[in-house]
Every structure is written in structure tokens, then in C-alpha cells.
Amino acid sequence: MIKKIGVALVLSVSLFASDIIVKNSCTDVSTTVKNLKKIVKKKGLSVFATINHSGNAKAVHLKLNESKMLIFGNARLGTSLMQQDMTIGLDLPLRVLVYVDTDGRVKMAYRDGSWLSDKHILNAPKKVAKINRAMDIFTTKAGQCKKD
């Protein structure tokens, strides 16, 4: 019985994690977030907040690798999705977590847009594909290495 439970836990963790895309960044956390903000604003999206997870941890005397989350979105696109299923508002606006991993590398993590379709009642494959393309472009540009 214990073995079956262990296997089920491993499978659900694997399935849960499969919708998260993680990319490397060639710059530090603050620069990556700054780059991402600039890119998002240039594309006409709104930046709603930056959450400094490591700063919040420090404020309560806890240690956490440097990490910040940028929350941003497009009201026109988000509203059209919420008109189909209001609960999608739990997963919008979009967000990218920028952090230092346990090996000291800067990473960017975000959910694949298929998460929205899989967890909510949506008939919007073109919009989800648009979100995926945008997130890929934004994060790729934000974490690019400087060209000499």
C-alpha cells in the first residue's frame, strides 16, 4: 500500500511540474526583471506588480535565494478569456518568476499557456497560442546575453 501511494505522489508531482517552463538568464535577477518590464511595456501590456520574494523573506529574518516575480497582462485578452470562464481570473494576470537556483544560476519560470485551457473552460486555442508565443519571446529577450 505504501508503495502505491509513493508512486501516485511522484506521478502527480511530475504531471504538475510539466506545465512550468524554466529558462536560463545571462543577467542577474534585477536586470532580468528590468529587461522583462521594458519588453512588456513596449508591447503595450500593463505591469501590475513586482513581488520581491527574497526581500519579503529577509523582512521576517529568513533566507531565500534572490527571487522576484513580475506580474503583467493585457486587459483586452484577459477580459475576453474571463468572459468565457471567470475562474481564469485566479491564473491571470500572467507572471514570470526570476530567481537564483541552488547552483547560483539565474532562471526565469512561467506556466505554459496550456495550463489555462487545461484548468478552465476555454475555447480559445489561438489566444492561448498567442500567450505562449509572447511569453517565449519576452523571456528569451529578457534573459539574452549581451552581444559584444
Q: Cell 523571456 appears where?
A: 139
Model confidence band, residue 94 (pLDDT cutoffs 50, 70, 90): very high
Query: Residue 148's pLDDT is what?
Result: 53
Check: CB of residue 31 under 8 Å from CB of residue 65: no
Check: CB of residue 133 under 8 Å from CB of residue 27: no
Residue range 81-104: mean pLDDT, rounded:
94
Distance, in Å, from the CA atom of 146 to the CA atom of 80, rounded to the nearest integer, reads 37
Which pairing describes strands 67-73 and 46-52: parallel, antiparallel, or unpaired?
antiparallel
Among residues 69, 72, 90, the alpha carbon closest in space to that of 81 is found at 90
Task: Give the other-Cβ count within 10 Å of 54's Cβ.
Answer: 17
- Res. 95: pLDDT tops 90: yes
The 10s digit of each residue's pLDDT in 27-54 is 999 999 999 999 999 999 999 999 999 9
Ramachandran area for residue 61 (φ above 0: left; ψ -120 to 50: alpha; else beta): left
Which amino acid appears at position 120 of this protein? H
